[in-house]
Amino acid sequence: MNPPSYKTSHIWYFQKKNSSNIRRLSALVLVAGLIVFGCTGQYGWARIDRDLETVFEENRILEDYNYYYSGPYYNPRGIIGIHKDVTLESKFWKPVDVTEQRLRGWKWFMNAGHSLSFRQSPKARYLFDQNGDRIGFWYSKWSWTVIRRAEGNTVMVYTPFDEDRNSPAWRRMGKR
């Protein structure tokens, strides 16, 4: 039996490489579709808002919201405000009576951590439940969270997600 010629092996390699890329692309499209269509209707979302960013820049306290923080008191991983008509269900968010001075200090520490690492700077986002109703806001350098309205006016907002596998959010998800 004769070995394949250069032309034959080259064409075979090219066909194999292209079919591999097509399979990868198909798998990527399938996964993206599952993420988009599989998650709709079950969870809420967070959206960056420039006007809310200005509120944080000016250290204004929004009176219609109850404030919570996650992480160490002097350097929280995240700050949320949940509208007073809504009840937050969480063991990990700690309620706080925030002042302008405390907010200024938190922002300073959150931004100081940003300047010492390659992480993003904190961003202000409005929180929406799965029905599209605005339930509160979020201020953190981490953007990953899970938002879900439970029964009645109760909502669950996971603490900021990061790559730390020992964070409370990862433990709740059973991932380590």
pLDDT tens per residue, range 69-106: 999 998 898 999 999 999 999 989 999 999 999 999 99
Looking at the fold, whether 131 and 167 belong to one and the same domain comes out as yes
SS (H, E, C) 136-164: EEEEECCCCCCEEECCCCEEEECCCCCCC
Q: Average per-residue pLDDT in the chain?
A: 78
User: How many domains is the chain partitioned into structurally?
Assistant: 2
Lowest mean pLDDT among 45-49, 133-137, 148-152: 148-152
Domain that holds residue 84: 45-173
Looking at the fold, whether 71 and 4 belong to one and the same domain comes out as no
Looking at the fold, whether 87 and 123 belong to one and the same domain comes out as yes
Looking at the fold, whether 103 and 124 belong to one and the same domain comes out as yes
Averaged pLDDT, 47-72 = 94
User: Quick one: pLDDT at residue 1?
Assistant: 59
Looking at the fold, whether 3 and 31 belong to one and the same domain comes out as yes
Looking at the fold, whether 83 and 35 belong to one and the same domain comes out as no
Looking at the fold, whether 89 and 151 belong to one and the same domain comes out as yes
**pTM (global) more than 0.85:** no
Measure CA 169 to chain center.
Answer: 11
Looking at the fold, whether 36 and 49 belong to one and the same domain comes out as no
Looking at the fold, whether 128 and 141 belong to one and the same domain comes out as yes
Looking at the fold, whether 9 and 60 belong to one and the same domain comes out as no
User: Quick one: pLDDT at residue 112?
Assistant: 77
Looking at the fold, whether 59 and 80 belong to one and the same domain comes out as yes
Pairing state between β 87-88 and 154-157: parallel
Looking at the fold, whether 71 and 124 belong to one and the same domain comes out as yes
- Are 88 and 72 in contact by the 8 Å Cβ rule? The answer is no
- Are 92 and 70 in contact by the 8 Å Cβ rule? The answer is yes
DSSP state of 47: E
pLDDT tens per residue, range 136-161: 999 998 877 889 888 888 999 998 86
Q: How far apart are CA 68 and CA 50, in angstroms?
A: 21
